[in-house]
Every structure is written in structure tokens, then in C-alpha cells.
Homo-oligomer: A and B are copies of this chain.
Amino acid sequence: MRGAVIHAPGDIRFETLDAPELLHPTDAIIRTAVTCVCGSDLWPYRGAEPIGDPHPMGHEYVGFVEEVGSEVTSVRPGQFVVGSFATSDNTCPNCRNGFQSNCLNREFMSTCQAEYVRIPNAQGTLVATDGVPGEESWPGLLAVSDVMGTGWWAADAAEVKPGSTAVVVGDGAVGLCAVIAAKEMGAERIIAMSRHEPRQKLAVEFGATDIVTTRGEEGVAQIKELTGGIGADSVLECVGTPEAMRQALHSARPGGTIGFVGVPHEVAIDGQELFFSHVGLRGGPAPVRRYLPDLINRVLTGAINPGKVFDLTLPLEQVAEGYQAMDERRAIKTLLKP
């Protein structure tokens, strides 16, 4: 079979690889229906994270079950399944507490930009749909496996409530999905921070009521102006840089809450500043598995359409161009078809 392999910064190749096999009785093998490139894949692509030896890439997937290990009884060959980028047994204490992305047996997916994928912890990770959904819903279901699940977690961690005001920091695919989540959770005012016109348009389509195009203290001042001078109830930080975290902290009202879902890179939070702000803070890798049944249902009923974040679709063999388009900001997110 064939799949993407990263060799060095900027060097993604589509190569022939060994087909995955069941390694444990808890594994499943799926045939990829669609996969995609994540904003976080750009960290190593841009040389901002070490690469080491050449290795496969990708952690988002929906597909058809090909084969299951002897301990997997919840899905069977032929079914269409959605999973999370973080696998989980869904039975350990952390899973039972709703933090499946901190499962004691967690393995992060990392080989999904390929025709076939091995899924560890398949029993707890995969959710099968009723029948095979139409191809038009595959992008939405694919989004659920990571970016939509992560946007939902941002809104959940930021405690978005009906009638509240939410600010979304970051206009990547996760930020845009966070707008969807804030809207679904009943936020009355959703302020998206974005400087890119196509993303602004999508944010508005997804439910943003206001767009703030400035950043830093100027951006904060604009948020304050839109929120009666005190700041927002909830801030959804979907980037992971020190600037974005600062933006979030200064945009939240006293006693407001930040959900932060971009992996922090060199972010440190000053204890005394956080203290006097009364702002609550929670983040982490999204516990997508907790939300899967609900989000799958919302996509299949048409309540949400997060598949729209894919503004470039390529055959899987053109994966390298998919990375490049995102790196150059020509695309928000690239869908790949095997």
C-alpha cells in the first residue's frame, strides 16, 4: 500500500509501504475513506519540531473496517467508522472521567495519510455509523475525528453557555470549528479573531457575529469595546503560541474561562496575573471520543457542516502539494482521497 512519509522539513513523499497488520488482539485495520493534513502536521514540516528518521504522517481518518483483532467486538469488517486522533480503551479511570485522550493505554495516531491504517485500542476508539453514510458527509465526519472534536472541546473547556459571549482566537480549521461549537452551545455573541478574508467569511457562515482583525493590545481593546468594557465570558484559544495565550488572557472578563486547545509552544502563564484575573483555564488534547456519538449525529442530521473547512481536495498521492498549500496559506485544510 502507499502513504505519506516525511523525510525532512518541507520534504513529504508518497511512498510504497508495508501494509499494516494486526499486532494486538485489540487492534483493527481500516481502509481509509478520506484523510487530511492537520495544522499540527506543519510543525515538523516547517522544522519547528524534530523529525528524526523518516516516518509516516497523519492522525485523522474515517474508513471501512477491514479486519479486527480477537478482542474487538464493537465493530466488524465492512462498517464505516470514525475514530479519534488519540486512541483509548474507553474503560480506564481517565476514560470514565471523560478524558479519553489521557487514557492509560493511549496511543496517538500517526500513520493515517495512507491507504490502510492500524487502529490500536479499536474497541474503545472506533464508532461505527448506521450503514455507510453518503460520500458528501465524509468530510464532516473526518473533521469530527480531530478539528471539530477539538473545537468542541475548546468551547466545552471554556464553559460556553447559552446567551454568553465567546471569543475565538485563531482562524485555522480548529478555530473555525470552535465557532461552530460555540454557536451550537448557544453563545449569543461569537467574536472571531481573523485577518484572512476567506476565513472570516467561513467564520460568519459558521455563526460568528463579529470579526476582529487586529491583534495584541489593539485586538484586546476591540474585544473590550464589544463586551461592555469587561471582556468575554469564554475565550477559545486555538493556536498555542505565547501571543495567542496573552490575547486570550486579556480578552476574558474577570471570572471568565479559557479553553486552550493548540499545543502550547513556549507558553508560560504568570501565576499572579492569572490569580488577579479570576480567569479559569483548561486545555489539552481534545477528548474527542467523549463527543463522537453526538458529533457524528450532528453531522449526519446536517445540524453542523464542519466539512467546509476543507477548501482543497487532492488525491492522496498529491499529499506533498496538500502540505505546501497549507504551509503557504493557500488552503485552510487539505482533504486527501486515497
A residues near B (Cβ < 8 Å) are 93-94, 97-99, 101-102, 157, 228-230, 245, 253-255, 257, 260, 263-272, 274-285, 287
Smallest CB–CB gap between A237 and chain B, Å?
10
Shortest distance between the CB of A168 and any CB in chain B (Å)? 18
Main secondary structure of the interface of A (DSSP, over half): mixed
Q: Return chain B residues, CB-CB under 8 Å to A97.
A: 253-255
CB pair B272–A269 under 8 Å, yes or no, is: no
A274, B269: Cβ atoms under 8 Å? yes
Most buried by B among A94, A99, A271: A271
Q: How far is the CB of A113 from the nearest CB of chain B, in Å?
A: 24
Leading 10 A-B pairs by shortest Cβ distance: A267-B271, A264-B271, A280-B282, A102-B254, A99-B255, A278-B284, A269-B269, A264-B272, A281-B281, A94-B254
Question: Which residues of chain B come closer than 8 Å to A278, judged between CB atoms?
Answer: 99, 101-102, 282-285, 287
- Of all chain B residues, which has the CB nearest A262? B275
Q: In the complex, which of the residues B264, B275, B277 contacts A263, with contact meaning CB atoms closer than 8 Å?
A: B275
Task: Return chain B residues, CB-CB under 8 Å to A230.
Answer: 93-94
Known: A99-B255, A281-B281, A281-B282. 7 other contacts (CB 8 A): A101-B278, A263-B272, A267-B271, A267-B272, A269-B271, A279-B282, A280-B280
- The CA of A267 and the CA of B99, in the complex, are separated in Å by 27
Q: Which residues of the partner chain B approach A229 to less than 8 Å between Cβ atoms?
A: 93
Tell me, in angstroms, the Cα distance from A280 to B97 when the chains sit together: 14
In the complex, what distance in Å separates the CA atom of A298 from the CA atom of B269?
A: 36
6 CB contacts below 8 A, A to B, read: A94-B230, A94-B253, A260-B271, A267-B272, A274-B283, A280-B282
Asked if A275 and B260 sit within 8 Å, CB to CB, the answer is yes
Report how far A93 CA is from B165 CA in the complex, Å.
14
Residues of B within 8 A of A254 (CB): 94, 97, 99, 102
Per a CB cutoff under 8 Å, which of B264, B276, B281 touches A280? Answer: B281
Interchain CA distance A98-B257 in the complex, whole Å? 14
A82 nearest CB across to chain B (Å): 22
A90 to chain B, nearest CB (A): 14
Task: Please report the C-alpha to C-alpha distance between residue A133 and residue B206 in the assembled complex, in whole angstroms.
Answer: 57
In the bound complex, CA of A338 to CA of B157 (Å)? 48
For A272, what are the chain B residues with a Cβ–Cβ distance below 8 Å? Answer: 263-265, 267
